[in-house]
């Protein structure tokens, strides 16, 4: 039997990459987030994770659900939305075709069409690349990346999250799930993109709701969180409709999950959005 041995909600903001140079004004501001991502990678190694499954809110699909099932992920990534932030970021990571196809097959059994692709020119998006840069820097573990459809429903994303867990349990592998995306996601308009935008929130309402969500997680009040999730995703400008969070909680057991939520860094804003790294300790 396979096991889900690590599950986490993580940030993928490009300012993490900008913070890496010694001269960067963001170095201190992003230090805790970077360190907590590296700590998740360390934990994954200790738990002998063979594959990271990443729910990527930056791989946006207009037409259904897709999985990158390539046996190797290799390329150089420049962000088309922010080429001044991420340029020529090289990655070389092993894939897990068998697990990718198994997830698609389990979804199909639940009447959800999911396509697993082996296309050498299908690269990774930065919602996968940035977390893997810290969690899996030398490609010691395999990677499966799952897209976030724009025109879908909470119910369909829940179905895919549940299918992912079933596929993991049948795989014979130790697997980590990474939900890669923000909490609230209202970004600053262009006219406000000064230096302060990196470290300030665009909506106080969103910040307050984010903090309430983190409190609910820490108190393990997941049933209340799940009940508010549809409104939270809409009213707080959820990135890709918070598809990564929906799929993560579906894989964890939805509102029956009762494990610890360990906050690994302080809540922080980036370009107006709300960010966090949290491990959800899996009941095994």
201: CATH: 3.40.830.10
Among residues 190, 184, 195, 194, which one has the least CA distance to residue 268? 184
Asked if 202 contacts 275 with a C-beta cutoff of 8 angstroms, the reply is no
**Residues 34, 39, 45, 50, CA torsion sign:** negative
Tens digits of residue pLDDT in 139-150: 999 999 999 999
The predicted pLDDT at position 134 comes to: 97
Please tell me the distance from the alpha carbon of residue 172 to that of residue 9, in angstroms, as a whole number: 24
The predicted pLDDT at position 283 comes to: 77
* Residue with token string 């470290």: 199
Residue 205 has pLDDT above 70, yes or no: yes
Among residues 95, 251, 97, which one has the least CA distance to residue 159? 251
User: pLDDT: is 117 or 195 the higher one?
Assistant: 117
Buried b (16+ CB within 10 A) or exposed e, 93-110: bbbbbbbbbbbbebbeee
Stretch 167-173: mean pLDDT? 98
Q: What pairing do the DSSP bridges indicate for beta strands 278-280 and 89-94? A: unpaired
Q: Which domain holds residue 57?
A: 3-280
Please tell me the distance from the alpha carbon of residue 89 to that of residue 127, in angstroms, as a whole number: 13
The predicted pLDDT at position 78 comes to: 94
Please tell me the distance from the alpha carbon of residue 71 to that of residue 119, in angstroms, as a whole number: 9
**Per the structure, how many domains does the chain have?**
1
pLDDT category at 284 given cuts 50, 70, 90 is: low
The SS3 assignment for 188 reads coil
Ranges of beta strands (E only) in the chain are 3-10, 51-61, 65-68, 72-77, 89-94, 114-117, 142-149, 174-180, 261-263, 268-270, 273-275, 278-280
Asked if 177 contacts 6 with a C-beta cutoff of 8 angstroms, the reply is yes
Q: Could you tell me what percent of the chain has a pLDDT over 70?
A: 99
9: β partners: 179, 278
Tens digits of residue pLDDT in 80-124: 988 988 899 999 999 999 999 999 999 999 999 999 999 999 999
Among residues 92, 95, 9, which one has the least CA distance to residue 275? 9
Question: Within its chain, how far is the Cα of 224 from the centroid?
Answer: 22
Please tell me the distance from the alpha carbon of residue 250 to that of residue 221, in angstroms, as a whole number: 15
Asked if 16 contacts 186 with a C-beta cutoff of 8 angstroms, the reply is no
Among residues 110, 121, 8, which one has the least CA distance to residue 55? 8
């Amino acid at each position: 039997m396979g096991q889900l041995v690590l599950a986490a909600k993580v940030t993928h903001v490009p300012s993490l990459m900008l913070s890496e140079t010694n001269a960067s004004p963001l170095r201190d501001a992003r230090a805790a987030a970077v360190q907590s991502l590296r700590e998740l990678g360390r934990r994954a190694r200790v738990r002998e994770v063979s594959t990271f499954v990443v729910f990527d809110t930056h791989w946006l699909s207009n037409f259904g659900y897709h999985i990158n099932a390539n046996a190797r992920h290799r390329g150089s990534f420049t962000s088309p939305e922010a080429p001044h932030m991420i340029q020529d970021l090289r990655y070389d990571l092993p894939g897990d075709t068998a697990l990718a196809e198994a997830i698609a097959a389990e979804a199909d059994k639940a009447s959800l069409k999911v396509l697993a692709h082996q296309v050498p020119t299908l690269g990774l998006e930065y919602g996968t690349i940035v977390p893997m840069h810290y969690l899996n820097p030398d490609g010691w573990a395999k990677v499966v990346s799952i897209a976030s459809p724009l025109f879908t429903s909470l119910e369909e994303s829940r179905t895919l999250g549940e299918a992912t867990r079933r596929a993991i349990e049948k795989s014979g592998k130790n697997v980590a799930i990474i939900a890669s995306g923000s909490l609230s996601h209202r970004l600053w308009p262009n006219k406000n993109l000064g230096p302060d935008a990196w470290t300030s929130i665009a909506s106080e309402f969103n910040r307050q709701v984010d903090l309430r969500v983190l409190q609910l997680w820490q108190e393990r009040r997941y049933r209340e969180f799940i009940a508010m999730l549809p409104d939270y995703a809409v009213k707080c400008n959820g990135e890709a409709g918070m598809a990564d969070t929906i799929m993560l909680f579906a894989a964890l057991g939805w509102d029956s999950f009762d494990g610890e939520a360990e906050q690994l860094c302080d809540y922080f804003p980036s370009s107006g959005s709300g960010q966090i790294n949290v491990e959800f300790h899996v009941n095994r």
